[in-house]
Every structure is written in C-alpha cells, then in structure tokens.
Amino acid sequence: MKNLSARLLFLFCFLILSRLAVGQEENNGGQISGNLEANANFFMRDSLIGAANTPQYDRQLYGADAWLNLSYSNWGFDFVLRFDLFNNSNLLNPTGSYTDEGIGRWSIHKKIEKLDIAVGYLYDQVGSGIIFRAFEERPLLIDNALLGARLAYEIMPDWQIKAFTGRQKQQFDIYSSVIKGAAVDGFLSGGENANWSLAPGFGAVNRTLDDGAMNSMVATINTYTKDDAFVPKYNTYAFSLYNTLTAGSFAWYVEGAYKTEDNLNDPFGEFNLGDTAVIVGDKLFLAEGSVLYSSLSYANKGLGITLEGKRTENFDFRTRPQEQLNRGLINFLPPMARVNTYRLTARYNAATQTIGELAYQVDVRYNYKRKLGFNINYSNITTLDEELLYRELYTEISYKHKSNWTLLGGLQIQRYNQEVFEFKPEAPIVETLIPYFDFLYKFDRRKAIRFEGQYMKVGKDDKGQLHDYGDWMFGLVEFSIAPNWTFTASDMYNINPGKNSPSDVDTGEKLALHYPRFDVFYTHRSNRFSLSYIKQVEGVVCTGGICRLEPAFSGVKFTVNSTF
C-alpha cells in the first residue's frame, strides 16, 4: 500500500515537473491547484475538567494533523493526490493517540465523450446517501472513500447511469469487504416555459463480506444460545428510489430505501442467562431494513417553509458488522434536527439512530424587507416504539439597522435522551431552556465588534439534582479589523453545577468551573491562521449529522488553512 502510494507520488511529481520543464507553450492549459489544512495541538493537563489520562496529556504533550490536497488537470485528465499526516493525533480516537503519514488519496478521472471514467479513492453518493455515501468529515476523521473504479455513461440527454466497485478506505489501509453499486439519475422538465421539473433516480448497492469478517462473526454467533443464533449473510443488497419534484415555489424530495437481510449489531441487545438474569450489550442479529425520507419546501417573497420526515428501521449499513461508532459506514442517514452553531445551543445534539427512528422537522423563515427576520424550527425524534429521543423548539428574530448594527436573539427549548445517545443508564431526559442573543456593531467599513450571550437552564431529576452538568452561562466578544484580523474572547461558566459536573476531590462538592477561550485569526488573501487557547468541557460533537462523545480539552491550538 505504501509502496504503491510512493510510486504514485513519484508519478504525479514527474507528470507535473515534466510539463513545467517543457515550458508554457506546450502546457496545453494544464492547471495545478490545491489546499492545505494543518492543525497543531499543545496539550495542557487539567485533571479537574477531565483533560487528563490520555497519551497526549500524560507524556506526548503535542499532536498534529495535516492534509495537503493537489489537483492537476491536463490533456482531458484530472489527477488528485493528497498527503495526510497524523502525529500523536486524537482525531481518530479522542482518548488515543494515532501516528502515521502517507498518501491519503489519489484519483484519476477522464471523460471520453459520453463515458466518464474514474479510478482511485473516490467520493460519491447515491441519492441523498441513504444506501451509499463515500465521504470525508475531517473533524471526526471519517474518510470513507471507496478505493476502486467508477464508470458513468450518458445514456441520453439529462440521463446518466453509473456503476462502481471497490473497497472502503480505513486511514492508510483498506477493508476487505467488497462494495459495488449502480444508479440511474435523470432530469425531466416541461420545456422552457414550464415551471416544473422532475429529477428521478434509482440506485442499488451490494456489500459482500470477506471471509475473515464472516469467520469472526460465525465464531461469535456460535457462543450464542440456539434461540439467539442465526445464519449470517455474506451478501446484503440495498435499493433506493428517489425523486425531486420542483413546481413553482415548491420542491419535494422523496426517497424510499430497502435493505435485504443484513448482519446487524444492537448495542442494547439482551442476553438471557438461563434463569431470570438478563445482560445488556452488543448483540448480533439478522434483519431487513428500510428508510422512508421526504422533504417538502416552499420559498417565495421572503417566506421559506421546509417540512421533513424520516422513518428508519434496521438501516445500519457497514463494511462489516464488527465495526463500531463512526467506522466502516457505507451510507449516511440525513440528520433530522437543526444544525446549531452557538456554543450552548449546540451542546446537545441528536446523533442519527440507525436501528430505529421516527422523526420530523418543520422550519419556517420569513424575512421582511431585509431588515426583520424570523425563524422557527421544531424537530421531534422518537424510537419506533415512540420513546422520545430528542425534541427541539428553536426561535430566532433578527433586526438589521441600516448598515450599523444587527441584533439577533431567540429561545431554544430541548429534550435530550442522554441514556440512549450517551449510553448513560437511567439518565433522565435532559431538559434545557436557552435564551440567547448576538449583537454586531460596525464602527466603520473595517472595524466591527460582536457580542454573544447565552444562558442554559436545565431541569431537575427525581432527586432534585440538576440534569447532567447543570446550568451554563456563555459570553463572547469578537473584535474584527477587516480584512486581516479577528480577536475573540469567550467564557463558558458552569454557574449551577449538576450531578455530572466535576467535584472537589476532598469535599466532594460540585465545582462551578470556567471554560475560557481566546482566539486570534489572521487572514491574508487565501491564507488563514488561527491561534487559540482553549478549555473545553466534554460533550457530544456532531459534524454533518454524525456525532461522537469528545472528552474535555485543555491547551493551545494552531491552525493553518491555505488554498492556491
């Protein structure tokens, strides 16, 4: 694998240098572009907030991640090469340390008339990704690129068929299971004057388990009782039919997916130990799966309304059933709650439940003369047995006064099932009430100051204890001098500690701790640098609807982003 990567790097450099050597006139319009993302973390142990007992805090003290992506296009080809670096990185495993480096991605793409050919590490999806999505989420170090080949052919104008086959990437290695699939996507409209169009599609994906994964699973099933044992499947097929109908101000997307019997893992599976004793834990089972997802949106004259609904049953789809958490995902189920950005409104997130979920979401926005804006969002997520998982009401009002200042404020109310999302037994549903504001004042065209304030009030459990970490207060001041500098100072204060807040070692008393943060951002053309001092409480971090529990952080971060 590494030998192949080294050869490809050599080939890539050779191609580019050989073109540079022969001069501009013979370059045929070849272009090279790229981007760099680099992060360096300096870890400062703080056992009081839980930033301790990992290799980085105990002895390594430093960690870094970097990605350098290069794209070169010439002679009708597109070449992509990416160098990935991880030194004592905590991205892959927040409590572990990962060190490796090498070619993280390469691909070659060529279009020959109606035929489109791509080989290498490919990112792609079918429909909205419910049956297949090869994607990258760097903050969670998810890189599910498919190492394989994809052919696409334009069978008629606006209609394309594609087929792909390959194996899923795992950092600098590759899973053994084979994934293959095909999809037909089209576009129909009523003509130039018509105000409607259709974008239908159909896709199918197959995963064939490798012998190693199957043998491992058979050995596990053989430890089960006869009642729990089942005959696992090598091959699982997933099908999806989808369509977007656009008519005037309306857009309606609908997708229905079905998965044949698959070997699944239930993290809350029950094992009967003979008598009345039952033990709960990871348990393999065999089941068919389905997803029905739809979104209807209306947009006209400052008013925007979106309705979304999703029903999921047994739709965990992985390269092998032994994979856990965010590893080995073949598909992507769209999240059904608002993506919040403020520190406290984003503290509790609803991770997508692949085994069973029934969810809907309503979002209404209205903008009056670009001065006054309203947004109301309501989402409700339950299990298929109607057990509440997550509920959120989010309201927002914004007012823009000429070009001088903007005031934004609102209220968020949440119900969050911590027992399911964070595997905390008998944890009550966390109840939050969060008023917030965001005020931006522009001194002139270059200088501006921004204030943020949020207060989280949580509910109490049966014993009168505040839920989870209790009440929080957050304040932020940001001063920017366009186009180069931004300075930010913020503090998150655990004003009324809850039952999970850190305690004093001697007295056992819950501590009201501060979690300050200071940032400096410098932007020069397409280069952006940031230096931050951070104390961050543990919490669930979500990116693109995929979440994981992140431990507390204490230290200094330095980042560089550059495009060229």
DSSP string of 7-34?
Answer: HHHHHHHHHHHHHHHH-GGGSTT-EEEE
Rounded Cα distance between 74 and 80, Å, is 12
State whether the Cα torsion 272-275-278-282 is positive or negative: negative
Contact 359, 441 (CB under 8 A): no
Q: Could you tell me the smallest distance in angstroms from the CB atom of residue 52 to other proteins? A: 9
Q: Could you tell me the smallest distance in angstroms from the CB atom of residue 433 to other proteins? A: 23
Q: Could you tell me the smallest distance in angstroms from the CB atom of residue 89 to other proteins? A: 12
Q: Could you tell me the smallest distance in angstroms from the CB atom of residue 46 to other proteins? A: 15
Q: Could you tell me the smallest distance in angstroms from the CB atom of residue 23 to other proteins? A: 46
Which residues lie closer than 8 Å to 170 by C-beta, 6 or more apart? 327, 328
Q: Which two tokens stand for residue 119?
A: 């080989």
Q: Could you tell me the smallest distance in angstroms from the CB atom of residue 563 to other proteins? A: 31
Q: Please name which of 302, 305, 330 lies closest in space to residue 316, comparing C-alpha atoms.
A: 330
When the beta carbons of 192 and 227 are compared against other proteins, the nearer one is 227
When the beta carbons of 30 and 94 are compared against other proteins, the nearer one is 94
Contact 187, 143 (CB under 8 A): no
Q: Could you tell me the smallest distance in angstroms from the CB atom of residue 363 to other proteins? A: 34
Q: Could you tell me the smallest distance in angstroms from the CB atom of residue 343 to other proteins? A: 24
When the beta carbons of 190 and 281 are compared against other proteins, the nearer one is 281
When the beta carbons of 3 and 222 are compared against other proteins, the nearer one is 222
Q: Which two tokens stand for residue 530?
A: 């940031």
Rounded Cα distance between 280 and 93, Å, is 24
Q: Could you tell me the smallest distance in angstroms from the CB atom of residue 476 to other proteins? A: 30
**101 to each of 54, 66, 116, 154, how far by Cα in Å?**
21, 9, 31, 38
SS3 20: helix
Query: Phi/psi of residue 524, each to 5°?
Result: -130, 110
When the beta carbons of 171 and 398 are compared against other proteins, the nearer one is 171
CA count, 13 A, side-chain hemisphere, 518 = 3
When the beta carbons of 399 and 423 are compared against other proteins, the nearer one is 423
Q: Could you tell me the smallest distance in angstroms from the CB atom of residue 151 to other proteins? A: 14
Rounded Cα distance between 412 and 527, Å, is 36
When the beta carbons of 373 and 498 are compared against other proteins, the nearer one is 498
Helices then strands, each counted (H, E), the chain? 4, 32
Which residues lie closer than 8 Å to 309 by C-beta, 6 or more apart? 292, 293, 294, 295, 359, 360, 361
Q: Could you tell me the smallest distance in angstroms from the CB atom of residue 420 to other proteins? A: 12
When the beta carbons of 410 and 551 are compared against other proteins, the nearer one is 551
Rounded Cα distance between 428 and 40, Å, is 38
Q: Could you tell me the smallest distance in angstroms from the CB atom of residue 143 to other proteins? A: 13
Rounded Cα distance between 260 and 557, Å, is 46
Q: Which two tokens stand for residue 100?
A: 């490796």
75 CB neighbour count, 10 Å cutoff: 10
Dihedral in degrees, nearest 10, Cα atoms 280, 285, 287, 290? 50
> Residue type for 552, please?
A
When the beta carbons of 33 and 58 are compared against other proteins, the nearer one is 58
Q: Which two tokens stand for residue 28?
A: 């045929």
When the beta carbons of 27 and 235 are compared against other proteins, the nearer one is 235
Contact 153, 186 (CB under 8 A): no
> Which residue(s) pair with 70 in the sheet?
34, 81
When the beta carbons of 192 and 426 are compared against other proteins, the nearer one is 426
When the beta carbons of 236 and 486 are compared against other proteins, the nearer one is 236
